[in-house]
Amino acid sequence: MMTKKYSIERLISAKSIAARVESLAQEISSFYADSEKLIVVGLLRGSFIFIADLVRELDLPLEVDFLEVSSYGDGMESSREVRILKDLRGEIEGRDVLIIEDIVDTGYTMHNVLAFLESRHPKNIEVCALLDKPSRREVEVSMRWVGFEIPDEFVVGYGIDYAQRNRNLSYIGKVTLLK
């Protein structure tokens, strides 16, 4: 598939992201201070940079695992069909679980992931999303921590891609398709 030509305008700077990750880590560390071991579940692929930065700031005993889910393919709109491409390796029954997501848009992906993981009977399950786009929400989901609320724009950078490109940007940028 041929990717359309586009431009990227900086929306959230690398410094702003780093500062917010640090404050999120403090809040999360405080919330889970009594946890024996937190299971941090990153949703691949978009959250990989966020999760790496966040867990380095957490002052907690933790284990990191990953789910790979897909609902976008190479497009700019959610298909609303959520597929689990890679399951967890470890058990979460009776454990504290924190899901790390790059962006919550329509809510379909997170809704499905929560149902999928809740069926495994964790002690509790919370969500931390780097970006929230509430204007696009079609399915309500509960997120305890949100890095930034953003407008209805397609974004890339800091792990988030457009057709597998631009994950390596240190900032979050707004994508504008060119004519």
Domain ranges within the chain, ordered by starting residue: 6-70+81-177
Q: Is 65 a catalytic residue?
A: no
Task: Please identify which residue in the block is written with the tokens 């560390």.
Answer: 29
Main-chain phi, psi angles of 50, to 5 degrees: -60, -50
pLDDT digits (tens, 9 = 90+) for 107-135: 999 999 999 999 999 999 999 999 999 99
Average pLDDT, the chain: 92
Residue with tokens 């990953």: 66
**Which percentage of the chain shows pLDDT scores above 70?**
93
Average pLDDT over residues 86-104: 96
Per-residue pLDDT tens digits for 11-64: 999 999 999 999 999 999 999 999 999 999 999 989 999 999 999 999 999 999
Q: What is the pTM of this model?
A: 0.91
Q: Which of 34, 105, 132, 161 is catalytic?
A: 105
Does an H or E element contain 25, and which?
A: helix 14-31
pLDDT of residue 1: 46
6-70+81-177 placed in CATH 3.40.50.2020: yes
Q: Is it the case that residue 102 has pLDDT exceeding 90?
A: yes
